[in-house]
Amino acid sequence: MAKLNFFICLFGFWISFFDIQTECFHGHRLLKRHRALFIFGDSQFDPGNNNYFNTTSKADFWPYGETFFHYPTGRFSDGLLVPDFIGGAGALKETRAGLVIDLKTQLGYFKNVSRLLRQKLGDEEAESLVSRAVYLFSIGGNDYLFPFETNSSIPCTFSVEQFVGQVMGNITQVVKEIYKVGGRKFGFPSLWPLECLPFTRRLELEGGKKDACFEPIKPYKEEHNKQLPKLLQKLQSDLKGFKYSFPDFHTLLKQLINHPSKYGFKEGKVACCGSGPYKGILSCGGKRDVAEYYLCDNVTEYLFFDSAHPTERANRLLAQLAWSGEPNITGPYNLKALFES
């Protein structure tokens, strides 16, 4: 993977700067070219920005961060996240309003940063940085989980296709706005098997089914993973220079959940930290609504750290897939190819 030089946490999303080595066209000397990685999305990719905002979705307390940092950074894991190896929120404004930073708000922060870059670097250098950057998103999961957490009327008000269409509409607007500013290269991993998280398994158990995934959310995830690549293909057709990666996180995580030993894990369904069945209650650290929690002895044996977020070890596998996976599992480009293009 690329060497990470430094990163900046600004205005609710994450910017990382890398040195990418490429062979000089007119010789054999290797040249270093700076590349930026802009991170948008939810708690799966949040390095701790929520620490600095008036939200209740935080992980700034022990045992979060225990493995790599040895102190809490705000990351929802025991250590590093996928973007850490590569270099929180929903697409709809209504999703967990007041708890997380929605996608359009993050877009506003990005526009502020792009103006700041122009002031600091000048128009030409700033435009070059923005156009060569990769924009990596983790989005959609909260939008589909939230209605089932809150007994919302959404499942009765909208069809699956209509609701997913709203999410796609907001994603489209944000991508086009970033494109207007100069962004050209985008990464959108597929949605995870949301129905089989420790959190959602607990919901299904409460409904009387043992050792089962939470089926009501499955059609939303499937429709999202069906519509998103079509949307990206259309954007590639409509927008000159638009390139994208669509890493298949879903298939890998499904394998990790169902066959953990194949990848060196001992547990793929129960979280390392939390309480209740499957440790599916988000009580890790005891700082939320439920104070009681249990922490496993060896986090490296677990796929999930808390009720909805993977361990550092699992994040590394996801990052490897996104960075260097073959086209059949990453779409037209993997992230390495996007950075080098």
Residues of the chain with pLDDT under 70: 1-34, 52-56, 88-101
Cα angle 38, 53, 174; round to 5:
40
pLDDT digits (tens, 9 = 90+) for 91-124: 444 444 444 467 778 888 888 888 888 898 899 9
pTM for the whole thing?
0.86
Please name which of 275, 300, 270, 298 lies closest in space to residue 285, comparing C-alpha atoms.
275
Give me the catalytic one of 43, 138, 245, 283.
43
pLDDT at 113: 85
Rg (CA), the chain: 20
What is the Cα–Cα distance from 89 to 184, expressed in whole angstroms? 22
pLDDT at 110: 86
Residues contacting residue 27 through CB under 8 Å, at least 6 positions apart: none
What is the Cα–Cα distance from 45 to 110, expressed in whole angstroms? 16
Residue 259 among the catalytic residues:
no
pLDDT digits (tens, 9 = 90+) for 22-72: 443 334 443 345 688 898 878 898 888 777 666 667 899 999 999 999 999
pLDDT at 87: 78
Give me the catalytic one of 77, 143, 190, 309.
309
Give me the catalytic one of 78, 84, 306, 307.
306
Q: Where are the beta strands (DSSP E) in the chain?
A: 3-10, 13-23, 30-41, 134-138, 185-187, 243-245, 273-274, 294-295
Residue 309 among the catalytic residues:
yes
Residues contacting residue 152 through CB under 8 Å, at least 6 positions apart: 146
What is the Cα–Cα distance from 154 to 293, expressed in whole angstroms? 31
Q: Which two tokens stand for residue 154?
A: 């959404």
Residue 297 among the catalytic residues:
no
pLDDT at 18: 54
pLDDT at 305: 98
Phi, then psi, of 15 in degrees rounded to 5? -115, 125
Rounded to the nearest angstrom, the gap between the alpha carbon of residue 331 and the centroid of all alpha carbons in its chain is: 17
